[in-house]
Structures are given as C-alpha cells and as structure tokens.
Chains A and B, each alone.
Chain A
C-alpha cells in the first residue's frame, strides 16, 4: 500500500500529536538535568519544576513594591495594544479591500501603492514611529497597523476580485446598486476570509508588538521579557514565552470557532 493512502487510527493519531510535544519536553528536561548536575546554580536551563514554581509565583503573588500582580498587568497592556492594532487594521482592510476589489478607479489608484508600501520593513520605520507618535501606546499600535495592514488589504482585495463576475452581474440584473452589491454580496463573502487573514496576521502582529515593547515601554509582556533578560532570569522568560504562546493559540482557536459559528455556509460548500 502506498504511503499516501495509509492513515493512522484514532489512538495512533492522538499519540502522534502528543509525540513531538513530549520529545521537546524530554529533550529540555534531560539537557537541564545535565547542566544542573554539573553546576547546581546554573541559570540557563532551569529545571521544569523551577519553572512551574516561578509560574505559580508570577500568576498569583503581587509585586512587593506596587502590590499588583505584574503578569496580569503586562498581559492586559499587551492584549489592549494587540487588540487595537489588529482591530483597527481589520476594519480598515475590510473597507479598503472592498473599495479596491469592486471599484476599478480605486483599484487603479491604490493597488500599486499598497503593493509598494507592503514591501517596507515595518521594523525599519519603528524609529520614525517613536519620533512621530512618541513612546506611548500610540506608536506600538501604529507599528502593528503598519506591519499587518498592507498584507490584509492585499489579501482581502484579491478575495473580492475573486468573487465570480457572474455573481456580481446577477446582482446587477436584480437591480442592486454598487452600495448594495458591496453590502449584500461582497461583504458577507469577504468576512470569512477576513477571519482567515487575521488568523494568519496574528503571528506578525505579536512580533511587532513584542519588538515595540522591547524597545520602549513601561509594561507589557515583551517589555518584561527583555527586562528580566538582564538578570538571566530564564525561568521568568520561559514562563512568559509559554504564556504568550498559549494566548496566541487561544486567539487562533477562538477565531476559527467564530468563523464556523458565524458563517455556516462556508462549511456547507466543503
């Protein structure tokens, strides 16, 4: 039997899914153990138990000076920045994607410009953002927007152009105006794609967020990681990394669930 036709059973599949996670964890545990036996005060690879203790402390114990739990404050600050950046980008990209995809005049004006702008490395303009928008929240949100908006616009306008011409013509023969075609034909078919595109752009959005926080911030997940790096506090860094990964994974899950829940017709076509 060909390999392409061999499928794992339920149990095997579950085991296979778990395997790389277990291997990675095992490799870390062994590596950490080797280093710690050689030098008990080694800070580079803290034992999994140490990380668990640190995590417990970070999630529950308030800071001595501010009497607040820093991790939750950092999480809130980062999520607000990320939410604002991604949310504003999504709204702008939907509007511009519809305009570029549907209106030849707007397409002729903006498509080339967006294609060029999307090639600007966002981190290269970060200093400009700090100069123009200051070191506050605004420059971080703007960096996320600069980073993901061009991609979103290009992706969404391409999706609008992909809508079969027949469907647009059909709407025209039913007497629909340009506005009605945008609102009732293009937009509903664009929204599931928007969620897909936002899922894809979450990775870069986190990257830009952490980069901006690392350089100038007073709190935030990225700020904390780069702060404790000076003390080689690997246990804290690893806790934060696992927490960020968990948050990003949950966002992806929620968006996927939302897409299925809100747009049952996309499932029906598969």
Chain B
C-alpha cells in the first residue's frame, strides 16, 4: 500500500466545486511538486493533505491510517507567510517545535537546557546560529523561511507540506533555498508536497510534478467545474522530464 493515498477527492465551497475526482498515490520519500494556474485548487489540495479542511467526498489516508480530522504532528507545514511565531526569538521558535506537544507548551530545568542545545545545533545546521537571540521580524525573508522549515522539521513530521514557500523571495535567495531544501531532503528522506507557481522550481526539486487544471470549461459559467490532476510528470533523471502515460493503453512498455 502506498504511503499517501488520495481517493476520489471532491471539494466544494457552497455550491462552487473546487476539486473533482482527484486520485493520486505517493510513495514514502517522494518529492511532489504541485503546479497549476491560480484558483485551480492547488492550495485547497494542500489544505486537504494537511487536514485543515475535510473533503466533501473521498478520503486521504497516510500510511494506511484513518483519515485525519485536524492538523497534527505527522504533517509539518510551511506557508508563504506567518509560519514562525513573531513573539519568540529564533531559538525559541526552534524549541517550540519540540515543546508545543507538551502539556504546558514549554520545558523547564534540564529538559529546557537540553532542548536549547539541540535547537542551537539545528540553527547551526540551517545557518541561523548568529541570530539565535533575535526576533523573526529582524530577519530577511529567506532566513525566516529557513527558520520555518527548521521549526517544522524539529517536530519530526512524516510529511512536509510547503505552500509556495519561496514565493515572496528574490531569485538569488530562492536558489540558495533550493540547495538548502535539497540538502535537508537528502539527510531526512522525507515525503514532501510543495505547491509552487514556478514551473522551473517544480521540475528542479520534484520527483513528480502534478498539474492541477480544469478538465472542462464552461465559458458561460467558469465556476461550473472543479479542477483535477491533469498531468502527472516524472521529473527525475537529472531534470529531464518524460511523460508517464496515465491510461492503460495496451501498448508494450519496457519495465
């Protein structure tokens, strides 16, 4: 059984369909890029994966478990903005990745010192140790996103969900964030879903690129139909994509 299975997902807001008939299976450790035009349900699909919303029909199972009812520790997330806590220092933001699951949301005594040491180690790895005592607002956009990713990984999720994480960054910072993300992935081997507007970014980082689009389009009522996955590209092999045929065409295919 595959690690993440989305089966026959429909999602509508009121009478307006957003997603229809979305089916996808993902193996553990895959990096999935999700692209598509604005308003084609990419972020909705991510929220469904996150269990922030529940689908109108269908279900998403992770590792064969029952569909989740609310966001939890098995799914980490980084949004484009507001992903770190502004009232905590950079170090405390990392510590929060471990301490929030406790009863009072904080450590004391020896556990606190140990958590701080681990946080400092994490900060060294993500190159933020020199700003450990500053507040996030004093950091650049790239540093804030690095902190957000570091914080999400501290909680050791099984899936990492990224909603346009580099959308607000300048091109140079974006490239260094790509390296950062690829390094982290090699280390952890985590399953990642990333929504992006940038096709190049999607193909560069992803093992697979899912394209969301509306299969039918009514010119008199553009909102009549929802979007679904229209292409499922294989983006591996040194970034040379080849298209995988989704239909069973009864044609010989080398294994």
Residues of A within 8 A of B (CB): 164, 166-167, 169-177, 179-180, 183-185, 188-189, 263-265, 268-269
Contacts and interface: CB of A to CB of B under 8 A. Distances in A.
Contacts of A180: 100, 102-105
A160 to B, nearest CB: 14
A189 B203 CA distance: 39
Contacts of A179: 103, 105
A170 B72 contact: no
Contacts of A164: 81-82
A174 B100 contact: yes
A173 B96 contact: no
B3 interface: no
B137 A268 contact: yes
B151 interface: yes
Contacts of B88: 188, 265
Contact of B87 (A169, A172, A175, A265): A265
B155 A174 contact: yes
Given A173-B71, A174-B96, A184-B105, 9 more contacts: A166-B82, A169-B50, A170-B151, A171-B85, A173-B76, A177-B105, A184-B96, A268-B135, A268-B138
Contact of B50 (A167, A173, A268, A269): A173
Given A264-B135, A265-B135, A265-B137, A169 B77 contact: yes
B100 A269 contact: no
Most buried by B among A173, A174, A180, A189: A173
The 10 closest A-B pairs by CB, nearest first: A175-B101, A180-B105, A176-B100, A175-B73, A269-B137, A172-B71, A164-B82, A184-B105, A166-B82, A174-B100
Most buried by A among B73, B85, B103, B151: B85
B100 A171 contact: yes
Contacts of B79: 166, 169-170
Contacts of A166: 79, 81-83
A258 B151 CA distance: 30
Most buried by A among B82, B105, B134, B152: B105
Interface string B135-163: 10110000000001001100101000000
B42 interface: no
Contacts of B52: 169
B86 interface: yes
Contacts of B77: 169-170, 173
B75 interface: yes
B63 interface: no
Nearest to B96: A174
B106 interface: yes
Nearest to A189: B87
Given A180-B105, A184-B106, A265-B87, A173 B157 contact: yes
B104 A173 contact: no
A268 B83 CA distance: 17
Contact of B101 (A176, A185, A188, A264): A176
Contact of B72 (A173, A183, A185): A173
B247 interface: no
B202 interface: no
Nearest to A188: B87
Nearest to A170: B83
A264 B52 CA distance: 32
B85 A185 contact: yes
A175 B155 contact: yes
B108 to A, nearest CB: 14
B70 A172 contact: yes
Contacts of B102: 180
Nearest to B75: A173
Contact of A167 (B72, B75, B85): B85
Interface string B57-98: 000000000000011110111010111111110000000110
Contact of B105 (A169, A172, A176, A264): A176
B80 to A, nearest CB: 8
A217 B50 CA distance: 60
Contacts of B70: 172
Contacts of B73: 173-175
Contacts of A167: 82-83, 85
A216 to B, nearest CB: 44
B104 A269 contact: no
A68 B223 CA distance: 79
Nearest to A172: B71
A263 B87 contact: yes
Contacts of B157: 173
